[in-house]
């Protein structure tokens, strides 16, 4: 299962917060911003908030997660980010929201003002349902449910596909060779775009200085052009790095082209390629490829579950696919890429698997599975004979030939005895200091030395001015360290020193 904790930014979240995450996207020039959704369909953001990219209405950074109330009730279908950064988000209802850096009109709202809060983009999209979004450094691309592509933003190299190099302030449909085509998936490099149509053909446009369009040249392309070198090959997926491109065919083969200064093409050298070049990973079929426009790293996953990476890896150049110990391509970007960002919207499936310890905790006091009941103060506590015999020497002997299913207990109170039985299931206790004194008595009676130490720790940590006298009275027959702690609290209360004879108690 995906572990979002592998991204450094999530170290700012508590373990409880991490357990609630269901979707996440780590972005920013240093991987210092994140947006995530929770099991409650709430959206939270965290990080440096450059250009208002957290969408909170200000540019204040935050080390604590803040809820993005302006998107309350919205469910995310697709999300991407630029270098500014700017954010483009599509909801499950097909709406598009943008915010963040906007110096090149990459938000599509007709201005060049940074967007501090999410703004719905409806111009030319009002009757469209957007199903996928992609961002280059400063331009944006969306795909609609009817296979149309719209682009806007920075256009110095033709990356908007309009045939010119004038920036595009609002969504404009990309036509030309795509006019009568049905696009099924899209991707963006730093300043280029890719579209795969339903026939498996790949169309490209934008910057091509490193051969990242795969056209056999290095000239920019201001309108969509088919990658002729892939004739007869049916492509299913496309992924773009900063200046390189990967495609995955229906036969599980990977092709790469473009910049290769870090070995990101996986060809065994660092020479750029302007034509699609096969990448040899292993004999197993490839089912997933991964790249991100802000990194020079590539990754792939095989049908057998093996994950490979190549390209930039923490300052090193890996020129051939390298087998990792990861189970998903997302981990490659969390641990190896610079910056540590996510290459797609992360999806975290709930982990329904329970460890043995978790299963035992769940079964404590469960009447549906128990075969033994303790009657204490008129209340039942449900337990399992075999576990009690395994965990406690007292029960191992007392339950050996006992076929009764009810045991009456009058020596200890209900809270104390329930805490004792729960300890046998969980290895922990949760009691007030006063009740812990009673449990200490029980632990002494049953010769449970570890439980005695837990009780002593609970009592010592819970001693305060109000309960010190009561605890001292109750603890006089127990370990000296408990009495000593009581004396110290009483001395602090009265402003006197503890007699040396008490401090020497062992």
pLDDT in tens, 169-214: 999 999 999 999 999 999 999 999 999 999 999 999 999 999 999 9
User: What is the distance between the alpha carbons of residues 466 and 470, in angstroms, rounded to a whole number?
Assistant: 8
Domain 358-462 architecture: 2-Layer Sandwich (3.30)
Residue 501: φ, ψ to 5°: -65, -30
CA atoms within 13 A on the CB side of 458: 21
pLDDT of residue 243: 98
User: What is the distance between the alpha carbons of residues 327 and 145, in angstroms, rounded to a whole number?
Assistant: 31
pTM: 0.73
Q: Are strands 130-135 and 139-144 parallel, antiparallel or unpaired?
A: antiparallel
Output 89-95 pairs: Cβ under 8 A, ≥24 positions apart: 89/118, 89/133, 90/130, 90/131, 90/132, 90/133, 90/142, 93/129, 94/128, 94/129, 94/130, 94/131, 94/144, 94/145, 95/120, 95/130
User: What is the distance between the alpha carbons of residues 370 and 395, in angstroms, rounded to a whole number?
Assistant: 15
pLDDT of residue 191: 98
Q: Are 116 and 56 in contact (CB under 8 A)?
A: yes
pLDDT of residue 502: 44
User: What is the distance between the alpha carbons of residues 76 and 172, in angstroms, rounded to a whole number?
Assistant: 23
The CA angle 54-60-62, to the nearest 5 degrees, is 70
Question: Which residues of the chain carry a pLDDT beneath 50?
Answer: 480-481, 487, 490, 498, 500-506
Q: Are 106 and 160 in contact (CB under 8 A)?
A: no
pLDDT of residue 93: 96
User: What is the distance between the alpha carbons of residues 217 and 255, in angstroms, rounded to a whole number?
Assistant: 17
User: What is the distance between the alpha carbons of residues 151 and 171, in angstroms, rounded to a whole number?
Assistant: 5
Q: Are 434 and 419 in contact (CB under 8 A)?
A: no
Rounded to the nearest 10°, the torsion over CA 325, 327, 329, 330 is: -100
Q: Are strands 86-91 and 76-81 parallel, antiparallel or unpaired?
A: antiparallel
The CA angle 103-339-105, to the nearest 5 degrees, is 15
pLDDT of residue 501: 46
Q: Identify the CATH number of the domain defined by range 75-347.
A: 2.130.10.30
How do the domains of the chain map onto residue ranges?
75-347, 358-462
Nearest alpha-carbon partner for 102 in 61, 66, 50:
50
């Amino acid at each position: 299962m995906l572990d979002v904790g592998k991204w450094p930014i999530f170290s700012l979240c508590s373990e409880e917060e991490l357990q609630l995450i269901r979707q996440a996207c780590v972005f920013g020039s240093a991987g210092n911003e994140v947006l995530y959704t929770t099991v409650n369909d709430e959206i939270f953001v965290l990080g440096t908030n450059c250009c208002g990219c957290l969408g909170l209405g200000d540019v204040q950074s935050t080390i604590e997660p803040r809820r993005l109330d302006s998107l309350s009730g919205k469910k995310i279908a697709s999300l991407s980010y630029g270098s500014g950064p700017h954010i483009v988000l599509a909801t499950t209802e097909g709406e598009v929201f943008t915010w963040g850096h906007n110096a090149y009109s990459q938000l599509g709202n007709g201005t060049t003002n940074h967007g501090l809060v999410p703004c719905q983009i409806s111009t030319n999209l009002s009757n469209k349902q957007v199903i996928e979004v992609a961002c280059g450094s400063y331009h944006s691309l969306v795909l609609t449910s009817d296979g149309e592509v719209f682009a806007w933003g920075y256009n110095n190299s033709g990356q908007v596909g309009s045939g010119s190099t004038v920036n595009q302030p609002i969504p404009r449909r990309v036509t030309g060779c795509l006019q009568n085509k049905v696009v099924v998936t899209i991707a963006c490099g730093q300043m280029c775009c890719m579209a795969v149509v339903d026939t498996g053909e790949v169309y490209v446009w934008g910057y091509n200085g490193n051969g990242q369009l795969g056209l056999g040249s290095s000239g920019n392309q201001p309108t969509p052009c088919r990658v002729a070198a892939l004739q007869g090959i049916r492509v299913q997926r496309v992924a773009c790095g900063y200046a390189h491109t990967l495609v995955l065919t229906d036969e599980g083969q990977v092709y790469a082209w473009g910049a290769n200064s870090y070995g990101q093409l996986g060809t065994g050298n660092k020479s750029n390629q302007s034509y699609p070049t096969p990448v040899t990973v292993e004999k197993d079929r490839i089912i997933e490829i991964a790249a991100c426009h802000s990194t020079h790293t590539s990754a792939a996953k095989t049908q057998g579950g093996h994950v490979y990476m190549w390209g930039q890896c923490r300052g090193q150049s890996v020129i051939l696919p390298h087998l990792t110990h990861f189970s998903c391509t997302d981990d490659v970007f969390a641990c190896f890429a610079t910056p540590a960002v996510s290459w797609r919207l992360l999806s975290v499936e709930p982990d329904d698997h329970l460890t043995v310890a978790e299963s035992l905790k769940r079964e404590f006091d469960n009447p549906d599975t128990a075969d033994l009941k303790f009657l204490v103060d008129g209340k039942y506590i449900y337990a399992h004979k075999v576990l009690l015999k395994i965990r406690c020497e007292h029960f191992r002997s007392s339950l050996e030939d006992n076929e009764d299913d009810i045991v009456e207990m009058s020596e200890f109170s209900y809270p104390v005895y329930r805490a004792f039985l729960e300890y046998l299931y969980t290895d922990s206790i949760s009691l007030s200091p006063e009740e812990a004194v009673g449990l200490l008595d029980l632990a002494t009676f049953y010769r449970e030395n570890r439980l005695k130490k837990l009780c002593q720790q609970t009592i010592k940590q819970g001693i305060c001015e109000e309960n010190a006298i009561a605890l001292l009275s109750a603890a006089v027959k127990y370990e000296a360290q408990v009495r000593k702690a009581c004396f110290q609290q009483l001395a602090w209360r009265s402003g006197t020193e503890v007699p040396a004879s008490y401090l020497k108690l062992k």
